[in-house]
Amino acid sequence: MLAALDDFGRRSGFRRAVAALGLIGICAGAAPPAHALSFIRDAEIEQYLREWEMPVWTAAGLDPESMHIFLINSNEINSFVAAGQNIFIYTGLLLRADSANQVVGVMAHETGHIAGGHLARMSDAMEKATIPAIVGLVLGAATAVATGNGDALRAGMSAGESIAERTFLSFSRTQERSADQAAATFLDSTGQSARGLLQFMQKLQQQEYLTGAHMDRYLLTHPLTQERVDFLERVVASSKYPTIVETPARKEEFARMLGKLVGFLAPTALVFQRFKETDTSIGALYAHAVAYHRMGQEDDAQKIVDRLIAGKPNDPFFNELKGQFLFEDGKVPAAVPYYRTANRLLPHNSLLETEMAQSMIETGDHRYDDEALAVLKDASGRDDENALTWRLLATIEGRRGDMPQATLDLAEEFYAEGRLREAKGEAQKAQKMLPNGSPGYLRAQDIESAADQAMKDARR
């Protein structure tokens, strides 16, 4: 489900937060302040993107389990890779894509940067910094490169200043061409067409005639030249797979992704302009249900989601959406069975697990505590950067009277949020309560050390 991550303490699914990791190929240009950057979490969209790109990662010799995709809530067209094997995609890019193949092509290009070692010059300071701390670094560096103002870089960053600036300034057309070549090779080896990447580049080519103030940021650090377009045209012409062939399932996934994004992110009036009320396609139904829910027309929203579930009762994401609507409408106990169903149909998904646990905890029914604790432990082991998971764990452990573990969970939560001083304080408290040398004690030491180092880096 789609929900805002600065609402993460109250909601789950499609979420946003001030969180990012390192940089390369990131947007330059007038960057928004760090606090304005929002990240979105959505189990369904993340799964589709991972499934689409997994063959490309394998072809690139990368471990798919080590790859991470982050969604940035912004209407701009952009994507970048950063601080290891992390791909960041702006919702504006997804909303302007015409097919899944175009999205796959863009991600294949970013994978080319990772496989080509274009991140090798990143500093240890960036690698060790907390996610929120690096947001300022990323945005400050982007602004500095676009404006030539070094003060913007220093003002926006907390670590790795000179390395970040050199990385931006060294990002070259040569690297872009190399990433294009790699993307084409990966796509061809997996039986997919590079035509989607070509189509996306041709779409962006129209932006080159705009002024810098209005140009999409993607173009500022992914310099688009006619040479690159010509290269991709030759690649497509000589490929075994010159045309785009997408399965009906992938077309539906793309339509669902667009419907969900439009439904949650666009003004409700625009939702119904893009998807007419007479439109009964899967994407339109998704968008309509979400728009009605946002408008408070719960009966209309529930009718549509019930229709979706009736058509595909074993779809985890339709059940998740039903749970979300009920949860947000204050019918928390009624939401639990739908979240349970979603988790049964798609087990060990950290976001779905956290959503179910949150609904169970907020019922106030302690009979759910053991079940909620079990799924939260599984979720934290799969995604240790989800602050809500740690917060809920602290709640459950506190209820059970395990204050040492609850305190450690709070340290994890604060560290994931970039609240370094609080993280250090809770870690110190946890060490006083946990057995010396125990795994929890050692983890508390690690958090204290990492938070302390990040604060020292920020003062430099």
Instruction: Label each residue of 96-118 as H, E or C.
Output: HCCCHHHHHHHHHHHHHHHHCCC
Residue 224's pLDDT band, with cuts at 50, 70 and 90, is low
Give the CA-trace dihedral at 195, 116, 59, 315, to 10 degrees. Answer: -70
Long-range contacts for 92-99 (Cβ within 8 Å, ≥24 apart)? 92/216, 93/218, 94/45, 94/257, 94/258, 94/261, 95/258, 95/261, 95/262, 95/265, 96/203, 97/200, 97/254, 98/199, 98/203, 99/196, 99/199, 99/244, 99/246, 99/251, 99/254
pLDDT digits (tens, 9 = 90+) for 115-132: 887 665 444 445 555 444
Report the pLDDT value the prediction gives residue 216, as an integer from 0 to 100: 53
- Tell me which residue of 413, 389, 409 sits closest to 400, measured CA to CA: 409
Is a pLDDT exceeding 60 seen at residue 315?
yes
Report the pLDDT value the prediction gives residue 123, as an integer from 0 to 100: 46
Query: Token pair for residue 131?
Result: 């996610």
pTM above 0.85, yes or no: no
299 alpha-carbon distance from chain centroid: 31
Is a pLDDT exceeding 70 seen at residue 162?
no
Mean pLDDT calculated for residue range 435-451 = 95
390 vs 459, more confident: 390
pLDDT digits (tens, 9 = 90+) for 7-61: 333 333 443 332 222 233 333 223 344 345 578 899 999 999 999 999 999 999 9
* Residue 305 near residue 328, CB atoms below 8 Å: no
Report the pLDDT value the prediction gives residue 371, as an integer from 0 to 100: 97
Q: Which amino acid is at 113?
A: H
What contacts 372, CB < 8 A, 6 or more positions away? 356, 357, 360, 361, 392, 396
- Tell me which residue of 359, 411, 245, 345 sits closest to 12, measured CA to CA: 359
Mean pLDDT, the chain, as a whole number?
A: 82
Query: In whole angstroms, what is the distance from residue 67 CA to residue 375 CA?
Result: 23
Query: In whole angstroms, what is the distance from residue 383 CA to residue 144 CA?
Result: 32
State the burial class of residue 127 (Cβ atoms within 10 Å of its Cβ: 0-12, 13-18, 19+): middle
Cα-atom radius of gyration of the chain, to the nearest Å? 22
3-class secondary-structure state, position 365:
coil
State the burial class of residue 230 (Cβ atoms within 10 Å of its Cβ: 0-12, 13-18, 19+): exposed
Question: Which is it for the CA torsion 374, 378, 384, 385, positive or negative?
Answer: negative
10 vs 292, more confident: 292
Q: Indicate the length of the chain as a whole number.
A: 460
- Helix ranges restricted to H, 36-149: 43-59, 91-96, 100-115, 124-128, 131-147
Mean pLDDT calculated for residue range 387-409 = 96
User: For residue 449, how many other CB atoms are within 10 A of its CB?
Assistant: 12
